Amino acid sequence: MSSPKLSDPIVRQSIDTIRLLAADAVEKANSGHPGTPMEAAPIAYLLYMRHLKHNPANPEWAGRDRFILSCGHASTLIYSMLHLTGYDLSLDDIKNFRQFGSKTAGHPEFGHVPGVETTTGPLGQGVAVAVGMAMGGQYLEQQVDAELFDYRTWVICSDGDLMEGVSAEAASMAGHLQLGQLNYIYLDNKITIEGDTSIAFTEDVGSRYLAYGWHVERVEGENLAEIDAAMARAKQDPRPSIIIARTHIGIGAPNKQDTPGAHGAPLGSDELALTKQAYGRDPKATFVVPAEVAEHMSTCKTQGEELEQQWQKQFEAKKSTPKVASWLEVSQGELPSGWATELPVFTPEDGAKATRQASGAAINGLAAKMPFLIGGSADLAPSNNTEIKGAGSWLPGQSARNIHYGIREHAMGSIMNGFCHTPGLIPFAGTFFVFADYMRPAIRMAALMGLAPIYVMTHDSIGLGEDGPTHQPVEHLASLRAMPNLTVIRPADANETCEAWKAAIANRQGPTMLVLSRQGLPTVDRNKFAPVAGLQQGAYVLSPEVGELQMILIASGSEVQHAMAAQEALQADGVGTRVVSMPSWELFAAQDAEYQEQVLPAACTKRVAMEAGSTFGWERYVGFEGVAIGMDEFGASAPANELMEHFGFTVENLIATAKQLLD
């Protein structure tokens, strides 16, 4: 991009304006972090004005570079940049920082502000999501079109980002995969909230990233020429790059620069006035954008429109080619025609089948029709059944549909979120259900942003057997059901599993978690019992009662078979018993009251639920007169059948509990 010389006064005037807008916003809100936006202003200026390929008039242009402010507490930095460079963010929005209903939340939120690529705030998530964005860009570049998708992912990050463990996993994977389109700029300011970083963080960050296989540069944070040249070199290096910038938090604040006092609280009116004096500004004036700065920085808009027009010409020439046309369809939110037609259908004659096995068959049926369905596993593909047959492996420098995350669940979850920010891609990934704990921060971020990754969680209960309580998820169903906007589905058999995949693919408003068995489960005969499409409602009457309804048995997953057998015995004793398969609380809660009443009529208060997990929450479905059979303790190491019997997940216990309730 053309721009004035770095020595021209307008450049420093613009940088100072960025700094003081950020400090004024925090001061007015009486809340926030002024110091980091102030130190990072030169870097942000150079990035937006000289290196970032972007168009403020169209923040979602597919060919743009991506920028993530991983240290989301420095949100007034990105708000100042978006306003000054011409995005749809007004000065009044900045003045309304951290107020209810404002675009300018305390941490940048995806979907709330044009130009914010992902929600950041939990440190480490931004740098890890960036790896997924860079991988997504590499996939589109190599599998769709190299000219259209040669974009770059830039990140500004902090000490906190690099201390969090997820960043280590993500950086290790990025170096291994040689993601040359990924660039971090690390604000090495030596300050955290508790004091100098030396009290907790003394490693050589540059050496660590060299060991990961990254290109490493060191610059002074106020030396524009050094930073600019380092950014240019980073764009030329085939490795991912980290530029370590020695910066000064709260720079220009006479009494708070280089102290924790510039970190997590406003500078204070007196200190802010002194800071403005140090920058040659009126100490009493607030939210000042000099006309010459506004004119200078608005050139981003003209340059961005030109860049997008050039890209659009290339796109028009290529949009009818098969790969680009296929990508265009899914990037606009449409699923390919006939996308579910290759899903398998199972019969009882197929024998007992673990739902993880059925899931593997479903993945390959879907992949045949959905070329942008990509996935992998945390070194557990043979157990999770996540491999897309014949699709190749993602290796250093070469993308493919099968991703080998290694034993990196923390990063896997975040990288999936990066994929979800890549137009057209639908990512899935697998691990053992118990290790959802490692992914929880990323799962929560996906739910918060309305992203739609698909989690394949196998070995769903004590039914995994001898691996013991460390690997047996007990509380996980309850805790994950508590997360807003996450759809959890625990299917009862192979066909419910395929139907669950249909629900997951169709859900583009939030993440879906498929919770699958290790052990084989019988396939329900759909010629005798309810159609499997009932799963789409979250709960359905799998087997109705004969005669007057006296008892409802509710179950999910591997326990549905016990409910079916118990129903047969109870009805033989004259007890009108209904079996409800309830694979998803969230899908059921989304149904209208009339449907919910049809499935679980209020008049029938005798109810027993059985699920091999915590009973927490089941009271909403069994009521005060019902019973939930579950486990509110940890499991043990033993064969699965012995564990199920010991903890009461048997037909006999279900029958006995129901009869006791009736008595």
Q: What integer is the mean pLDDT of 7-19?
A: 97
Give residue-wise pLDDT tens across range 207-246.
Answer: 999 999 999 999 999 999 999 999 999 999 999 999 999 9
Q: In sequence order, which ranges of 184-338 are alpha helices (DSSP H)?
A: 205-212, 224-236, 269-278, 291-297, 299-318, 322-331
How many beta carbons lie within 10 A of that of residue 306, not counting itself? 12
- The pLDDT, as a whole number, for residue 635 is 98
Nearest to 410, CA basis, from 172, 158, 70: 172
Give residue-wise pLDDT tens across range 409-431.
Answer: 999 999 999 999 999 999 999 99
CA-to-CA distance for 197 and 446, rounded, in angstroms? 31
Region of 252 on the Ramachandran plot (φ > 0 left; ψ -120 to 50 alpha; else beta): left
Residue-range domains of the chain with CATH: 9-306 (3.40.50.970), 348-521 (3.40.50.970), 535-662 (3.40.50.920)
- The pLDDT, as a whole number, for residue 4 is 84
CA-to-CA distance for 528 and 525, rounded, in angstroms? 6
Q: What percent of the chain has pLDDT over 70?
A: 100
Nearest to 196, CA basis, from 124, 268, 261, 252: 261
Give residue-wise pLDDT tens across range 516-552.
Answer: 999 999 999 999 999 999 999 999 999 999 999 999 9
Check whether 70 has a pLDDT greater than 80: yes
- The pLDDT, as a whole number, for residue 1 is 41
Contact 70, 132 (CB under 8 A): no
Check whether 579 has a pLDDT greater than 70: yes
Give residue-wise pLDDT tens across range 321-374.
Answer: 999 999 999 999 899 999 999 999 999 999 999 999 999 999 999 999 999 999
What does residue 628 show for φ and ψ, rounded to 5 degrees? -110, 120
Strands in 153-157's sheet, in edge-to-edge order, are 66-69, 153-157, 182-188, 241-246, 215-220
> How sure is the predictor about 3, in pLDDT bands with cuts at 50, 70 and 90?
low
Q: What element of type H or E holds 660?
A: helix 651-662
Q: What element of type H or E holds 488?
A: strand 487-489
* 3-state SS assignment for residue 329: helix
Q: What integer is the mean pLDDT of 64-86?
A: 98
DSSP string, 442-484: HHHHHHHHT---EEEEES-SGGG-TT-TTT--SSHHHHHHTST
What does residue 102 show for φ and ψ, rounded to 5 degrees? -75, 150
Check whether 113 has a pLDDT greater than 80: yes
Q: In sequence order, which ranges of 387-539 are alpha helices (DSSP H)?
A: 409-420, 436-449, 476-481, 494-506
Q: What integer is the mean pLDDT of 281-290?
A: 98
What is the torsion angle, in degrees rounded to the nearest 10, for the CA atoms of residue 7, residue 9, residue 13 and residue 14? -60
Provide CB contacts within 8 A for 528, sequence distance 6+.
none
* 3-state SS assignment for residue 409: helix
How many beta carbons lie within 10 A of that of residue 307, not counting itself? 18
CA-to-CA distance for 337 and 646, rounded, in angstroms? 48
Provide CB contacts within 8 A for 229, sequence distance 6+.
none
Give residue-wise pLDDT tens across range 82-98.
Answer: 999 999 999 999 999 99
Catalytic residue set = 409
Rg (CA), the chain: 28
CA-to-CA distance for 391 and 426, rounded, in angstroms? 15
Question: pTM above the 0.95 mark?
Answer: yes
